[in-house]
Amino acid sequence: MVKAAVKKSSPGFRVAGRKALIVGLAATGVSSARFLKGSGAEVVATDMKPLDELTGAGALMDLGIRIDAGGHRLESLDGVDLVVVSPGVRTDEPILNEARRRGAEVISDIELAYRFIDCPILAIAGTNGKTTTTTLLGEILKDSGKKVFVGGNIGTPAIEITEAGADYDLCVLEISSFHLETTRTFNPHIGALLNITEDHLDRYRDFDDYAGTKFRLFENQGEGDYAVVNVNDPVIEKRVSRGLTRGKVVPFTVTGALKEGLFLKGGSIIYLNGGAEEAYPTSEFRLKGLHNIENVMAAIASARLAGVSREVILETLATFKGLPHRMEFVRMLDGVAYVDDSKGTNIGSLMMALKGTDTPVVLIAGGRDKGGDYSVLGGLVKEKVKCMVLIGEARFKMKESLGGLTDTVIADTFEEAVKTARSKAGAGDTVLLCPACSSFDMFRDYKDRGDRFKRLVEAL
């Protein structure tokens, strides 16, 4: 169960009187800069974008924060002994390497926030499903009557917990690998790792480096902490078996049974804990799909460890319908289901989407390539996909890897892709938008891509 809150900000870490540099002025950078300035630090911020493109820059300058825009310059480091790097900034940027050489401490905004959060932290990490699981867990905890802060990679910077003016019972954070690259003391009392599949390989040396970064979620845990882990994921199972977790392991899986932990049996999630058995009937869940069963398992385990009753968990699961652009049903037209999974921006997410779809699929995929190996999808494409409609910069690479396995069409525009998908689909099929790529070649972000898909589908 959740231990008593412990104040993380110790006399060993001070802010007042220090000079801090914020690298990257997206939402996390702006919040970190504001917090550090309010805590008595001299603050400088830098960003690659020009000043007129930085939202919130004016308000920071009004606080007396200097902004060096239009590129990261080494002179921004003068006198700096603390650097807070935003998750979107590569940690091998020259300015960060030079900061380390000069002896400055380089940390993420998550690490900064951790040192000031004075309630237990529940953290969710993984390649896919983080936002759904974080949101669901937050809702369960709130429905139990607890006062909960939900933030991190989900949209609300973690440091904003210090500005909320409230005493929280628990803090639930979505954690990306980018955050974990520069954590040092960060230690969630309950950490959940959902899966590790190929993603962001343009940022890491190789897949092993990426997986190792995910496992930093657990590196500061002790015997009184919990590691909720998906042992159906071979990468996670292997690392857990090697003893790379320090907290008490709480495993879950959607295949087979376990002597302790969570697994599927007879249409229910079974949670075995110290001989006690609880059942959570999946027919009562609004969330559907195998990938969501894994997300639910992680949320159940984390919530129970936090002291929430089975009854409250079931009540929340009966009403929680998920988030936009994550296997979101759009409409039924002429017997064809249209599903928006625009958030499926990597190969692992497409793999889970196809595994969780029981009807023949007309797949719309492609976008900006992230360095993965599409050939691992070959078996699923051959089995489940009756036609692929490929878009974006990666369309020819995807066709080369998978095009020989099913009917494949190259589309030059998104509008053409949706029209082609309709022409290829018949009653009983599913048209699935699951790009397995980022959106930035054709759209502002995955939300823009998903919204455009829904508008085009509604207009058919």
Residue 10 pLDDT > 80: no
Q: Average pLDDT of the chain? A: 94
3-class DSSP state of 263: strand
Residue 3 pLDDT > 50: no
Residue-level pLDDT at 199 = 73
Residue-level pLDDT at 1 = 55
Q: Of 3.40.50.920, 3.40.1190.10, 3.40.50.300, 3.20.20.140, which CATH number belongs to 112-317?
A: 3.40.1190.10
Residue-level pLDDT at 50 = 96
Residues 430-460: pLDDT tens digits? Answer: 999 999 999 999 999 999 999 999 999 999 9
Q: β-strands 276-281, 268-273: how paired?
A: antiparallel
The domains of the chain are located at 19-103, 112-317, 328-458
Of the residues 153, 195, 232, 346, which is catalytic?
Answer: 153
Instruction: Report yes or no: 84 and 23 within 8 Å, Cβ to Cβ.
Output: yes
List the CATH code of the domain at 328-458: 3.90.190.20
Residue 162 pLDDT > 50: yes
Which pair of tokens denotes residue 139? Answer: 């809702």
Residue-level pLDDT at 438 = 95
3-class DSSP state of 300: helix
In the residue annotation, 153 being an active-site residue is answered as yes
Instruction: Report yes or no: 344 and 366 within 8 Å, Cβ to Cβ.
Output: no
Which pair of tokens denotes residue 6? Answer: 């412990």
The gap from C-alpha 288 to its chain's centroid, in whole angstroms, comes to 19
Residues 82-130: pLDDT tens digits? Answer: 999 999 899 999 999 999 999 999 999 999 999 999 999 999 999 999 9
pTM of the prediction? 0.87
Instruction: Report yes or no: 146 and 138 within 8 Å, Cβ to Cβ.
Output: no
User: Which of 170, 169, 149 is closest to 160 using CA atoms?
Assistant: 149
Residue-level pLDDT at 372 = 86
For the chain, how many residues are written? 460
Residue 271 pLDDT > 80: yes
Mean pLDDT calculated for residue range 68-88: 96
Residue-level pLDDT at 203 = 84
Of the residues 37, 72, 128, 130, which is catalytic?
Answer: 130
Residue-level pLDDT at 2 = 58
* CA 47 to each of CA 66, 67, 87, 97: distance values in angstroms, whole numbers, following the listed order: 12, 8, 13, 16
Residue-level pLDDT at 52 = 94
pLDDT band at 151 (very low <50, low <70, confident <90, very high): very high
Residue 4 pLDDT > 70: no
d(CA 368, CA 371): 9
DSSP state of 283: G
List the strands of the sheet with 105-108, edge to edge: 66-68, 42-46, 19-23, 82-85, 105-108
Which pair of tokens denotes residue 142? Answer: 């709130």
Residue 71 pLDDT > 70: yes
Residues 294-321: pLDDT tens digits? Answer: 999 999 999 999 999 999 999 999 999 8
Residue-level pLDDT at 391 = 98
d(CA 190, CA 225): 6
Q: The tokens 């973690």 sit on which residue?
A: 158
Of the residues 37, 146, 189, 200, which is catalytic?
Answer: 200
Residues 352-401: pLDDT tens digits? Answer: 899 889 899 999 999 999 888 999 999 999 999 999 999 999 999 999 99
Using a 10 angstrom Cβ sphere, with 0-12 exposed, 13-18 middle and 19 or more buried, the burial of residue 306 is buried
3-class DSSP state of 139: helix
pLDDT band at 192 (very low <50, low <70, confident <90, very high): very high
Which pair of tokens denotes residue 413? Answer: 């525009």
d(CA 369, CA 201): 10
d(CA 343, CA 126): 14
In the residue annotation, 130 being an active-site residue is answered as yes
Which pair of tokens denotes residue 206? Answer: 């190789």
Superfamily of domain 19-103: NAD(P)-binding Rossmann-like Domain (3.40.50.720)
Residues 55-64: pLDDT tens digits? Answer: 999 999 999 9
pLDDT band at 51 (very low <50, low <70, confident <90, very high): very high
Residue-level pLDDT at 101 = 98
3-class DSSP state of 202: coil
Residue-level pLDDT at 321 = 87
d(CA 336, CA 384): 15
Residue 6 pLDDT > 50: no
Which pair of tokens denotes residue 192? Answer: 């959940």
Residue-level pLDDT at 323 = 85
